[in-house]
Structure 1
């Protein structure tokens, strides 16, 4: 060891704001039924695999050259998909992509946050929003939802945004981990109440929304500070492909170029994502089946005497547990991995295949009523 480093532990050399923190880490365990990270339980269909392999085969010899820095073909494919899916037409200049939606969220905070700046989110919400914010030197401000419904009203959101006067606001629709979607009134109220903020609507689970749930993409033409982020990890059964993207004004897209690393999307990543988008019908074929299992979970968990939150995502948050950590461990002993998201008396479960859903429901039923809140505790 070098003499000048000998008196110090590596931890002593960390940035002060990182000391004592723990990294993000959903458990990755080898279990029969893994329903903890909102992945799709359905494998990529063979025709899509074959199309990807063929496309990659024609490009591998060219890996001696850098990829298209502007990923133009991918942006065109993203625009075509969003028009098919939502009816909203977007120019390639309004689209941006990264290695998962976390990278595009990181680009937003790098560009519009930083030391002396603040970001607001309404918790419980996606845990990476504050992690990305704080590790990039931006101050996180914890807004609140209604404790009973996990919703946030337009009036409450506007009041909190006006009081915080943030530089960035994060909204989730549908929200993770609660599954609840936002009305447009909430989004527009926040935009009005936070006049200097970039307002990010995280729509990672948009394809799973119930009929009548609208996408914030429809608001882009009227709100130049609005950003809508999405991912291919969930509905596209493409978590391993690592492709997230956003839609915004061309001016915001131009600003993001200031912080992205050169050639941040590899040629294989661009190709795999583009071919997947060209085969969206095949990849999204499992969405309705997943929604059926999600709604089944809501119905059957309620029948067990617990309190599921109606969901527009591919998962269900349910409450009514005496000790959520204890129930999590008991389910794991039965081979079922769900997610403890840190909300007292609640756990979150991903909607999987019919067989996986049955395994979860059967395991949960076997644990009740021993693991349920007593009636007196529910009333209080």
Structure 2
């Protein structure tokens, strides 16, 4: 049965690839690249079809600046990103994307422009653009596809992802001085977080986000235990919370550590909002912390992006003053020595607070936990 499933998946991939090439060829015969005047196209649809939370947080930079210039901005995305955007009142509408969805409602909007931020150009995406029938399609590295009226060349290993967004804004003659992301708030989730933590304004909360979207970027249980033990010694009055889906982060639980039941992405946002310090792997929490300007220690490996091969630790770096990034040399973050992480935490906690400098505490705690775990 497993062999038949594998064969069927391969067959379907090949068929989709062939359909994509045929559709691209046909569309190239139908379209002539005559870029319209963008300032006359007032209703804009942003595509974030893969439902990646970090990508969506960064996209709020473009969405907000377009909205501030009087454009009506809507977003087509998945359910997780839809939750993130629910408090963003500068957006016109949020549409939830499903494969083979009806486009009647979207077509009725008569979008002037569609902005596609991804490098992907598969059959489903091309078919979607064709059926939407917008006055203008904007994409990246799509020069061979004439359905894109503007194809912005951008494959730069040394520039942050926000450089792409600045290129889009420049098409509309918008040149922001600062790079900021713009998240709304969720009063219900904020109340849930404060109730779970028994939180009062002025108390210290430290959030640890141990998991990402890829196993090679995740913290190990041993690393998280070392972080918690160090925080218990250096900041005994701080409330420690593990962010993430409760079923997935349950293994990181410990005495005095809070995991908030029924957590959603908006629970994480409201947790980060009140946190004195956020300690995270390479995932959306990094960009949420950026949006809320929270102290952040972010731990990355040197993995390269699947679609482009560009270095993710550069393209998706935290990219703001209150953040510190640690890039480990080990392919798996879980295999990296925890000492560097603890030293990074110490630097934050001691910043301007007059707390004692004691790197030996971090090293000894890490060694004790490794010994107890048989490592």
Q: TM-score range by the shorter chain?
A: 0.3 to 0.5
Structure with max Cα Rg:
2
TM-score calculated relative to the size of structure 2: 0.33
